[in-house]
Structure 1
Amino acid sequence: MREISPVTLELNGVRLEPLQPRHAAGLRAAASDGELWKLRITSVPEPENTEQYIATALEMRPSRLAFAVIDIASEKVIGCTSLHDIDPLIGRIEIGYTWYAKSVQRSHVNSSCKLMLLAHAFDKGYELVGFRTDIFNHASQNAIERLGAKKDGVLRHHALRRDGTVRDTVMYSIARGEWPQVKTHLEYRLARGRSC
């Protein structure tokens, strides 16, 4: 069976730990690096809402498994990411709720996290890994496309933004048959110091 349970993953100096209340101060500091909660196209928590953000993520289990992103050398929390919309029956899972401190954006961190989560999902027998982003989040769309994901389409009038407006959502995916080539591509980019 395609069982996804809390697990710790490490690669390239980055560790993914199951998100816990003890990560609150670190998440607050990471979000403050760039005041990321001010971006209307992300789900980064405001400093005063960090504990609730973590509680909500934990309440969403088993359909969402959230991770704190840790820089191993400094043991600092540098972001958050999740496996979500987990459907073991049909073998579909998504990677999302992803954000990183401004100082580590466009570094090896995103590529390393995606490589770990994709490998974990496909190793557990999932057939397809999806991604979604706001139609106006061009940086996220570019990063997902650099991974090698295919654009599935746009869901119009799909989800609320933090400011109360309704966004269109761009959907992407990587199928099991595409994974070996995507994995090789990601490893190649990481070996050459390129990010996704």
Structure 2
Amino acid sequence: MNMAFVEPVTLAARGVKLVPMALSHESGLRAAAADGALWQLRVTSVPEPEQTRSYIENALAMREAGNHFPFCVQNGATGKVLGTTRYHDIVPAVKRVEIGWTWYSKSSQRTHVNTTCKLLLLTHAFETLGCQVVGWRTDNFNFASQAAIERLGARKDGVIRGHALRRDGTIRDTVMYSLRSGEWPEVKAQLLYLLDKPRV
């Protein structure tokens, strides 16, 4: 069963904690999404407030099936929910996972939170799970996401045209990126450098 590839785990560093998503996170995720009314962005997967519970239920169903492992992102000190991220398209046979379905409350954006989450997820993927490759995918119009993925040091693999539906009914092209295990040491050093750099 695929599920054995990603066992339930809590990851934490630098005041950020990733815990396995649960139904008990509903109110926290609802509040995080409301910070910036994130569901109004057409190129993201943020649920509308009344859809938060079904969003979690769907995520847990995909976890049960073994192809997703969703995390709730929390403030390590207070437990406040800051957003969510997950491993998805988990393929144990080739030791590959993708990182996505990531969003954070507006007040957590442009802070150390995303960089810390990526460091935690990539470290776990390469150093614990033994992944050969970690991938990302994003909307061709989500330029902020593309820039963030490229800043990590991931390589652009290409574009899948006419790949998926957006929430507004339009059809999106999907930009694919990946990072191989041999590239991880350099990327890890860069992430640590960014996190340790004094903020101005």
TM-score (norm 1): 0.96
Identity %: 60
Q: Structure 1 residue runs of 4+, over 4 Å off?
A: none
Structure 2: 5+ residue runs without aligned partners? none
CA RMSD of aligned residues (A): 1.2
The equivalent residue for 1:91 is 95
Distance in 1 of aligned mates of 2:122 and 2:188: 8
The equivalent residue for 1:79 is 83
Distance in 2 of aligned mates of 1:193 and 1:12: 14
The Cα shift of 1:106 comes to 1.2
The equivalent residue for 1:64 is 68
2:142 is equivalent to residue 137 of structure 1: yes
- The one-letter code sitting in structure 1 at the alignment partner of 2:171 is V
The equivalent residue for 2:49 is 47
Relative distance call for 1:193 and 1:83 in structure 2 (3 A) is farther
Farther off after superposition, 158-167 or 19-28: 158-167
Query: Among residues 157, 173, 177, which one is paired with 2:182 in the alignment?
Result: 177
The equivalent residue for 1:192 is 197
The Cα shift of 1:73 comes to 2.2
Distance in 2 of aligned mates of 1:54 and 1:105: 22
Distance in 1 of aligned mates of 2:147 and 2:158: 15
The equivalent residue for 1:36 is 38
Structure 1: 5+ residue runs without aligned partners? none
The Cα shift of 1:69 comes to 0.2
Q: How many residues align?
A: 194
The equivalent residue for 2:172 is 167
TM-score (norm 2): 0.95
> When you count helix as a share of all residues, which structure comes out higher?
2
Distance in 2 of aligned mates of 1:74 and 1:34: 21
Q: Secondary structure at the match of 2:178?
A: strand
**Contact 1:108–1:193 (CA<8 Å) still a contact in 2?**
no
Distance in 2 of aligned mates of 1:193 and 1:159: 40
- The one-letter code sitting in structure 2 at the alignment partner of 1:7 is V
